[in-house]
Amino acid sequence: MNSRSISARLTIMNLLVSGAALLLASAGFFAYDQVTFRQALERTLSAQAQIIGSNGVSALLFNDPQAAASTLSALRTSTNIASAGILTADKRVFANYTRVPGDETVTIPAMPEGQDEAFWFRRAHLVLMRPISSEGRVIGYVYIRAELREIDVRLQRYGLIAVAVLLLSLLFALFVSRTFQKSLAGPIIRLAEMTRRVSREKDYSLRMPASTDNNEVAVLIDSFNAMLEEVQERDRSLQKAHDELEQRVEERTRDLVSANRELEAFSYSVSHDLRGPIDALNGFSYVLLQQYGAALGSAGKEIVDHIRASARRMRDLIDVLLNLSRVTTSSIHIENVDLSAMVRSIADDLSRAEPRRQVEFKIAQVEPVQGDARLLRIALDNLLRNSWKYTSKHATARIEFGANHDMGRTIFYVKDDGAGFDAAAAGQLFQPFQRLHKSTEFQGDGIGLATVRRILGRHGGEIWARGAREEGATFFFVLPQQGREPGAR
Residues near other proteins, by CB under 8 A: 55, 57-59, 61-64, 67, 90-91, 110, 134-136
DSSP conformational letter for 82: E
**Of 15, 327, 12, 323, nearest in space to 168 by CA:** 15
Tell me whether residue 57 or residue 281 sits nearer to other proteins (CB atom). 57
Pick 71 or 387: Cβ nearer other proteins: 71
User: Burial, 193: exposed, middle or buried (Cβ in 10 Å; 0-12, 13-18, 19+)?
Assistant: exposed
Q: Burial code of 45-74, b = ≥16 C-beta within 10 A, e = fewer?
A: bbebbeebbebbbebbeeebbebbbebbee
CA atoms within 13 A on the CB side of 326: 11
Min. distance of Cβ 94 from other proteins in angstroms? 12
Specify which residues 398 forms β-bridges with.
Answer: 360
Classify residue 400 by its DSSP letter.
E
**Cβ contacts of 314 within 8 Å, gap of 6 or more:** 274, 278
* Least distance CB 108 / other proteins (angstroms): 10
Cα-based distances in Å from 205 to 195, 228, 233, 235, 241: 12, 7, 10, 11, 19
Q: In whole angstroms, what is the distance from residue 48 CA to residue 50 CA? A: 5
Map residue 405 onto helix, strand or coil.
strand
Question: What CA dihedral angle connects 120, 126, 129 and 130, to 10 degrees?
Answer: 120
8 touches 178 (CB < 8 A): no
* Alpha-carbon span 121 to 226, nearest angstrom: 73
Residue 127 or 173 with smaller CB distance to other proteins: 127
In this complex, which beta carbon is closest to other proteins, that of residue 76 or of residue 91? 91
Complex with other proteins: residue 61 or 245, whichever CB lies closer? 61
CB-nearer residue toward other proteins: 133 or 211: 133
CB of 45 to other proteins, least distance (A): 22
> Helix-strand-coil percent breakdown of the chain, rounded to 5?
60, 15, 25
Among residues 63 and 179, whose Cβ is nearest to other proteins? 63
The rounded distance, in Å, linking the Cα atoms of 38 and 44 is 10
We find the least distance from the C-beta atom of residue 58 to other proteins, in angstroms, to be: 4
Closest contact distance (angstroms) between CB of 153 and other proteins is: 37
Which residues touch 301 (CB under 8 Å, ≥6 apart)? 289, 293
Name the minimum Å distance from CB 110 to other proteins: 8
Give the nearer residue to other proteins in terms of CB position, either 109 or 283.
Answer: 109
CB of 117 to other proteins, least distance (A): 21
Q: Which segments of 62-100 does DSSP mark as H helices, in order?
A: 65-72
Q: How far is the CB of 65 from other proteins (least distance, A)?
A: 10
Q: Report the sign of the C-alpha dihedral through residues 196, 199, 200, 202, in that order.
A: positive
Which of 410, 414, 404, 409 lies closest to 466, judged by CA? 414
Tell me whether residue 135 or residue 485 sits nearer to other proteins (CB atom).
135
Min CB(64)–other proteins separation in Å: 4
d(CA 13, CA 15): 5
Q: Which is nearer to other proteins, 95 or 347 (CB)?
A: 95
Q: How far is the CB of 101 from other proteins (least distance, A)?
A: 24
Minimum distance, C-beta of residue 61 to other proteins, in the bound complex (Å): 4
Nearer to other proteins, 67 or 191 (CB): 67
Minimum distance of other proteins from residue 143's CB (angstroms): 16
Nearer to other proteins, 58 or 439 (CB): 58
Q: Which residues of 251-278 are buried (b: 16+ CB within 10 A; e: fewer)?
A: eeeeeeeeeeeeeeeeebeebeebbeeb
Determine the 3-state secondary structure of 141 from DSSP.
strand
